């Protein structure tokens, strides 16, 4: 399957723990986007990354959230000291192009569903 791969699909954490969500883009794609979907709501942009660079993090909460896309390996969305309000589905998307051209078509993974107890 050459699609966007996310893991884990489901993650349960207690308040105060850390959550790490991983995303491997489609083959040939070097641009990764993270979106959050709260229950019964639409998708909200969080962050746009290229390899080793954060291009736009305007949708990321200022505290506890961070993202990276290293030269080797998947993109990671990290949430420290989770709270109940972090419970949501986190979707990763990739595209073949990004800044300096236009984004092109986005392809989404199946999402990671975080539940905070």
Output the CA–CA distances (angstroms, integers) from residue 12 to 38, 54, 81, in the order listed.
Answer: 16, 27, 13
CB atoms within 10 A of CB 13: 19
Query: Quick one: 10 or 15, whose CB is closer to other proteins?
Result: 10
The closest of 105, 114, 103, 113 to 50, measured between CA atoms, is 103
DSSP structure string for 46-62? EEEEETTEEEE-TTS-S
Does 54 contact other proteins by CB under 8 A? no
Query: In the range 82-101, which residues lie near other proteins by CB under 8 A?
Result: 89, 91, 98-99
Closer residue to other proteins in complex, CB, 76/89 = 89
- Closest contact distance (angstroms) between CB of 107 and other proteins is 7
- In the complex, the residues that contact other proteins under the rule CB under 8 A are 33, 35, 41-45, 48, 55-56, 89, 91, 98-99, 102-108, 110-111, 113
């Amino acid at each position: 399957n050459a699609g966007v791969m996310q893991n884990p699909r489901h993650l349960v954490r207690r308040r105060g723990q850390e959550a790490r969500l991983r995303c491997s883009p489609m083959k040939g794609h070097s641009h990764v986007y993270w979106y959050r979907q709260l229950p019964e709501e639409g998708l909200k942009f969080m962050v746009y990354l290229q390899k080793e660079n954060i291009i736009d993090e305007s949708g990321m909460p200022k505290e506890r959230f961070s993202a990276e896309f290293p030269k080797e390996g998947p993109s990671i969305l990290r949430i420290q000291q989770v709270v109940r309000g972090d419970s949501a589905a986190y979707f990763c998307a990739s595209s073949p192009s990004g800044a300096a051209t236009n984004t092109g078509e986005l392809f989404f993974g199946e999402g990671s569903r975080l539940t905070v107890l």
